[in-house]
Amino acid sequence: MKNKVYIETYGCQMNIADSELVMGILNNVGYDVTRDVHDADVILLNTCSIRENAEQRIHGRLGNLKTFKNKNPNTVIGILGCMAERLRSELVHEKSIVDLVVGPDEYRRLPELIDVVYAGEKGLGVKLSRTETYDDIIPYREDGLQAWISVMRGCDKFCTFCVVPFTRGRERSRSLSSIVDEVKHLSGRGFREITLLGQNVNSYRDEGMDFADLLDSCAKVDPLMRIRFTTSHPQDLSDKLLETIAAHKNLCNYIHLPVQSGSDRILKLMNRTYTVEHYLNLIEKARKIIPGVSFSTDIIAGFPTETWEDHLGTLDVMNKVKYDGAYMFKYSPREGTKSYKMGDDVSEEAKTKRLQEIIDLQQKHSLELNELMINKTEEVLVEGTSKKSTEFLSGRTDTNKVVIFPRSEGIEEGDYVSVKISKVTSATLFGETVAITNKREVPVQAAVQSA
């Protein structure tokens, strides 16, 4: 009987994409993938280290798995991802139930390292690489509508608060041709949306071609395939990139452009390499080049030495940009980063208060922007049944807003429909279907290709 592997993924989209890679690697050497942890011979946790609470969750999960391991001592338990890279052998030494610790650049060695565990040793693979991109590996993906594609790995930006350059190593890009081939393959399987991933996609390079060239090539594969990307760093967002987005209907008019703080002094301490003025000019330029473009951001509250004035600067940027969405965090000191040495001098109370103000303001903006959508007709990609009621369908606009509308005859997952918006909340749009603008043709061979 084949061995079965189960994987649980924490952290960012890059980890989701990596889990698919890992499943691809193990599936190639004969492992079956299972969704049931009780059925697994190998249990893998693909982990995140970005903030303290991300790591706490994993420690908690390992606590649960301990009982499981005691009952099933032959089950292999492995830690992958950023926490594996950050804590390395500490994990196998301190956690007796952990058999395997493998960092993001050593996944090719997983089959061999699992065998090491079966031979009675601990399996450890935590070297970072300057070249590994897994370009030749086909990720294991179930059929669906939406897929992630990593186009680059690592990060060279060294923002002073961030562990990613340490856990994922130096920046490197995959080849443009292999990415385009993957898009073609997914289009053939009936996928309707892909998201190109990198910590800083704007520094994508392949033999003189840049990220705009990559987007252009991907957009041409299938005009009905929506293409998204994340994350853009404000330092290198080029005019060429903005013009490319404007030129293709299927390149979504949505840019995730993390600002982190609205104070030049804090941005400098963060090593973000731009000023508030540069950032706001960029937003203004993008709005001119791509009419109707929407923005989302990441914000950190309570970075070391952040004063009330600095915090007001952040609220001010939010008021000037009016983001469609934001990921908002309390600063979390990470050992080994530069800001760790700056101390963590903003009190927990002040962090909580500032974060709450940021969240409240964002909610207000999201609602205001959504209210502007009332009576507009939007093209929506149908994703499936609404979470709350089977009588409703759910989908997304080009600008990544969730739309709920009544289920009606003939409309299925993967279709494009036009929906007239009638009601909104800060998180969701509600409307009535006007027409099906494009039906998805599900390819007959989909099941075969995914095998």
Which is nearer to ligand SF4, 171 or 216 (by Cβ)?
171
Nearest-angstrom CA–CA distance, 222 and 416: 14
Distance CA 263, CA 270 (A): 10
- Distance (Å, rounded) from C-alpha 233 to C-alpha 260? 11
Task: Check binding of 50 to ligand SAH (CB under 6 A).
Answer: yes
Which residues ranging from 216 to 255 are in contact with ligand SAH (CB under 6 A)? 231, 233
Q: Does 48 bind ligand F3S (CB under 6 A)?
A: yes
Contact string 57-96 vs ligand F3S (x = CB under 6 A): ------------------------xx--------------
For residue 284, give both structure tokens: 């203004």
CB of 154 to ligand SF4, least distance (A): 9
Residue 258 sits in the site that holds ligand SAH (CB under 6 A): yes
Which of ligand SAH, ligand SF4, ligand F3S, none interacts with 100 (beta carbon under 5 to 8 A by kind)? none
Tell me how far, at minimum, the Cβ of 272 lies from ligand F3S, in Å: 17
Stretch that binds ligand F3S, among 6-14, 327-335, 346-354, 377-385 (CB under 6 A): 6-14
Which residue, 95 or 256, is less far from ligand SAH as judged by CB?
A: 256
Applying the rule CB under 6 A, the residues between 140 and 169 that interact with ligand SAH are 161-162, 164
Least CB distance from residue 198 to ligand SAH, whole Å? 8
- In whole angstroms, give the CA distance from residue 246 to residue 315: 29
Q: In this chain, which stretch among 32-40, 157-165, 185-193, 246-254 interacts with ligand SF4, using CB under 6 A?
A: 157-165
Q: The tokens of 64 are what?
A: 């649960």
Q: Does 334 help bind ligand SAH (rule: CB under 6 A)?
A: yes
Beta bridge partners of 152: 173
CB-hemisphere CA count at 13 Å for 170?
A: 7
Q: Which entry of ligand F3S, ligand SF4, ligand SAH, none binds 228, CB below 5 to 8 A by partner kind?
A: none
Alpha-carbon distance 27 to 448, whole Å?
A: 15
CA–CA separation, 369 and 112 (whole Å): 52
Among residues 5, 6, 11, 317, the one that binds ligand F3S under rule CB under 6 A? 11
d(CA 400, CA 427): 11
What b-and-e string marks burial along 229-239, b requiring 16 or more CB atoms within 10 Å of the CB? bbbbbbebbee
Q: Which of 168, 189, 192, 256 binds ligand F3S (CB under 6 A)?
A: 168
Question: What residue is closest to ligand F3S based on CB?
Answer: 11
Q: Determine, following the binding rule CB under 6 A, whether residue 15 of this chain makes contact with ligand SF4.
A: no
* C-alpha to C-alpha distance for 270 and 340, rounded to whole angstroms: 11
Instruction: Yes or no: say if 80 and 18 are a contact pair by the CB < 8 Å rule.
Output: yes
Tell me which of ligand SF4, ligand SAH, ligand F3S, none is bound by residue 329, counting a contact when its beta carbon lies within the kind-specific cut-off of 5 to 8 angstroms.
Answer: ligand SAH
Main-chain phi, psi angles of 361, to 5 degrees: -65, -40
Site string for ligand SF4, 162-181 (x = CB under 6 A): x-xx----------------
Under the criterion CB under 6 A, does residue 256 sit at the interface with ligand SF4? no
Question: Which lies closer to ligand SAH via its Cβ, residue 270 or residue 417?
Answer: 270
Which amino acid appears at position 241 of this protein? L
Residue 280 CA to residue 278 CA, distance in Å, equals 6
Binding partner of residue 232 among ligand SAH, ligand F3S, ligand SF4, none, CB cut-off 5 to 8 Å per kind = none
Strand, helix or coil for residue 400: coil
Residue type, 304: P
- Residue 176 DSSP symbol: H
Please state, in angstroms and rounded to a whole number, the distance separating the CA atoms of residues 123 and 111: 10
CB 43 within 8 A of CB 6: yes
**Cβ proximity to ligand SF4, 323 vs 405, nearer residue:** 323
Q: Which residues pair with 404 in a beta bridge?
A: 394, 430
Strands 209-210 and 205-206: antiparallel
49 touches ligand F3S by CB under 6 A: yes
Under the binding rule (CB under 6 A), the answer on residue 14 touching ligand F3S is yes
In the list 46, 150, 200, 339, the residue contacting ligand SF4 (rule: CB under 6 A) is 200
Nearer to ligand F3S, 45 or 183 (CB): 45
Residue 318: name the closest of 400, 254, 262 by CA: 262
Site for ligand SAH in 272-331 (CB under 6 A): 298, 300, 329, 331
In our burial notation (b when 16+ CB lie closer than 10 A, e otherwise), range 121-132 reads eebbbbebbeeb
Report in angstroms the alpha-carbon separations of 416 from 192, 193, 406: 10, 12, 14
The contact set with ligand SAH (CB under 6 A) reads 50-51, 161-162, 164, 199-200, 231, 233, 258, 260, 298, 300, 329, 331-332, 334
Q: Rule CB under 6 A: which residues touch ligand F3S? A: 11-12, 14-15, 48-50, 81-82, 163-164, 167-168
Sites of contact with ligand SF4 (CB under 6 A): 155, 157-159, 162, 164-165, 199-200, 233
